[in-house]
Amino acid sequence: MTKAKTTYVCQECGVSSPKWIGRCPSCGKWNTYVEEVVIKKEKNRSNYNKLSKPVKINEIVSETTARIDLRSIELNRVLGGGMVKGSLVLLGGEPGIGKSTLILQLSLRLKGRRILYVSGEESLQQIKLRGERIGIKNDECILLSETLLENIMIHVDDIRPEFVVIDSIQTISTDRIESSPGSVSQIRECTNEILRYAKQNNTPFILIGHINKEGNLAGPKILEHIVDTVLQFEGDQNHYYRILRSIKNRFGSTSEIGIFEMQNTGLREVNNASELLISQSKENYSGTSVAATIEGNRAILIEVQALVSTAAYGTPQRSGTGFDLRRLNMLLAVLEKRARFKLSNKDVFLNLAGGVKVNDPAIDLGVLVAILSSDLNLSISKDYCFTGEVGLTGEIRAVSHIDQRISEAEKLGFSKIFISGYNKKGLDKRNYKISIEYVNKVEEVFNKLFR
C-alpha cells in the first residue's frame, strides 16, 4: 500500500504546507517553497521499532565517557574530547574546503579500527587516489560507493563498523520517499533513519553536508536540530588555514576551535597558530603590529598590517581583509576626533595575516597602532604586542581572558604587552616575566609609542 502526497516544502527551514506560499511564515524567506512528491510506503519497521521501556533516571547507567579517541588533538578538542559513541556529527563547509580530506584522513589515521566510509559523490578510485596523496595506510578502512540509504544500512548492519562516514548527506536518498536527493524531505528522512540506527546500535555517524550560497548548511536548518553536533569547516580558498568550529555540541562546549593547514599531503594540525600568523622577518616595517586575540578558547597572536597613503582620486578608499569595514571606519573616526589625526583624505588598507577573520574586539588596539604607525611612517618594535577594545570616546576598554593573552605573548617571546588600564584589577604582574603596560586612552598609546 502506498500513500501519494505532494507538499510544498520550504528549502530553507523545512516547514511544509499543502499549498504554495510566496513567503515562508516560519523563517520569513521569500520564494523558497518547492513542490515535493512524498510517497510514504507502509513499511515494516519492526527492525527498528523495538519496544522501548520507560526507566527511572537513577537506574540509567551513565555512558557519557564512552568516547572514541580520534588521535587528533584538534578534532578531539572541537568534539569535546573525542567522538561520543552513538552520536551524529554533521560537518558542514563550502565545496572544496577540505571536508572529505579531513574525514578520510581521520578514517585512515585510526589504524586497525573498522571504519566504513560511504561516498555518494566520488568513485572509489577517486577516494583511493586521495588516500594515496594523504599517504596513510589503513587496511581496515572500508570504502563504499552507494547512494541508496537502504543499501547503505544493509552494509552497515553487516560490517558493524566502529563509525560510519556519509559523504555527503545531500547525495543519499531513501526509496520510501519519491522526491529527489538533496531535497528537504529526503535529507530529513535519511537523517532520521540514520539517527535511529545510531542510537540503537551505539554507532556514531559523521555526516558531511554542503553549504548553500548564503553560507548556511544547505537545505534544512532542520538537520541541525536532529544531529548532536554541528561542526563547520571554514577558511579562505586562497589561503591554507582552515578553522574547524563547533556550532552545536550536545557533548561539549561550542567555543572550541581546531586549526589546520592544507598541504599537498592533506591537512596538517596546527597546534601553535601564533607562530604561523606572525611574520618571521627580523626587519621593522612601519604599519605592522601584533595583536593578541582569542579564537574559541585559545589565545592567538595575529599580525596586523596597515597601509595609509594619500588618496589619489576623490573619495578615499578604505578596505580591510579579515576585519569588519564598519569597525575600521569607526576606528578612523576615533583617531580623527580624539587623537586629531587627519585621515579623511587618506586611503587606508588593512590586512590580517594568513587570511584569518577576527571578530574579537580586542584586536582594535593592534589595528589602531598599525594605522598610526603607517601614517607616521614610524615602526613599532617587534617585541611589542597589543590587546584592547577601543571605545567611541577613545578609551581603551578591558578585554576578556587577559591572562591567556598575556601568557601567549610571553610564550612567544614578546618583551612588552599593551593592555587596558581597566584590566588591572585582579592581575598580578609578578606572575609574568613580560612587562605589562597599561593604557587608558588613545592619546596615551600614541605618546608611549611615537613620542
Q: CB-wise, 14 or 266, nearer to ligand TYD?
A: 266
| Complex with ligand TYD: residue 168 or 229, whichever CB lies closer | 168
Residue 98 interacting partner from ligand TYD, Mg ion, none (CB closer than 5 to 8 Å by kind) = ligand TYD
Residue of the chain from 113, 130, 411, 416 that contacts ligand TYD (CB under 6 A): 130
User: Of 93 and 388, which has the nearer Cβ to ligand TYD?
Assistant: 93
Q: How far is the CB of 245 from ligand TYD (least distance, A)?
A: 15
- Binding of ligand TYD at residue 270 (CB under 6 A)? no
Distance in angstroms (rounded) separating the CA atoms of residues 448 and 431: 24
Verify binding: residue 101, ligand TYD, rule CB under 6 A: yes
Kindly tell me which residue out of 18, 25, 96, 314 binds ligand TYD, with binding defined by CB under 6 A: 96
Q: What is the CA radius of gyration of the chain?
A: 26
Residue 108 interacts with ligand TYD (CB under 6 A): yes or no? no
Alpha carbon separation from 197 to 63, 88, 193 (Å, rounded) = 18, 10, 6
Give residues 146-185 in contact with Mg ion (rule: CB under 5 A). Answer: none
Is 238 one of the binding residues for ligand TYD (CB under 6 A)?
no
Query: Of 96-104, 347-355, 364-372, 373-381, which segment contacts ligand TYD by CB under 6 A?
Result: 96-104
Binding residues for ligand TYD restricted to 65-94, rule: CB under 6 A: 93
Verify cis geometry, omega within 30 degrees of 0, for the bond prior to 168: yes
CB-wise, 101 or 203, nearer to ligand TYD?
101
Is 99 a binder of ligand TYD (CB under 6 A)? Answer: yes
Q: Whole-number minimum distance, CB 11 to Mg ion, in Å?
A: 21
Question: In angstroms, rounded to a whole number, what is the distance separating the alpha carbons of residues 28 and 17?
Answer: 14
At closest approach, how far in Å is the CB of 276 from ligand TYD?
A: 17
Q: To the nearest whole angstrom, how small is the minimum distance from the Cβ of residue 133 to ligand TYD?
A: 4
Q: Residue 265 or 309: which CB sits closer to ligand TYD?
A: 265
CB of 73 to ligand TYD, least distance (A): 19
Considering only 72, 100, 105, 179, the residue that binds Mg ion (CB under 5 A) is 100
Q: Give which of Mg ion, ligand TYD, none residue 67 binds (C-beta under 5 to 8 Å, depending on kind).
A: none
Spatial distance between the Cα atoms of 8 and 17, rounded to a whole number of angstroms: 5
Among 89, 262, 370, 445, binds ligand TYD (CB under 6 A): 262
- Give 15-21 contacts, CB < 8 A, sequence gap 24+: 16/185
**Per CB under 6 A, 266 contacts ligand TYD:** yes
Q: Which is nearer to ligand TYD, 40 or 130 (CB)?
A: 130
Smallest distance, Å, CB 378 to ligand TYD? 40
Site size with ligand TYD, rule: CB under 6 A:
15
**Closest CB 206 distance from ligand TYD, rounded Å:** 12
Q: How far is the CB of 446 from Mg ion (least distance, A)?
A: 50
d(CA 430, CA 376): 34
Contacts of 174 (CB under 8 A, 6+ apart): 148, 149, 150, 186, 189, 190, 193
Q: Out of 43, 133, 250, 429, name the contact with ligand TYD by CB under 6 A.
A: 133
Q: Could you say whether residue 374 binds Mg ion (CB under 5 A)?
A: no
Q: How far is the CB of 109 from Mg ion (least distance, A)?
A: 18
Show the binding pattern over residues 134-173: x = contacts ligand TYD (CB under 6 A), - = does not. Answer: x---------------------------------------
In the list Mg ion, ligand TYD, none, the entry touching 93 (Cβ below 5 to 8 angstroms by class) is ligand TYD
Binding residues for ligand TYD, rule: CB under 6 A, are: 93, 95-101, 130, 133-134, 262, 264-266
Binding residues for Mg ion, rule: CB under 5 A, are: 100
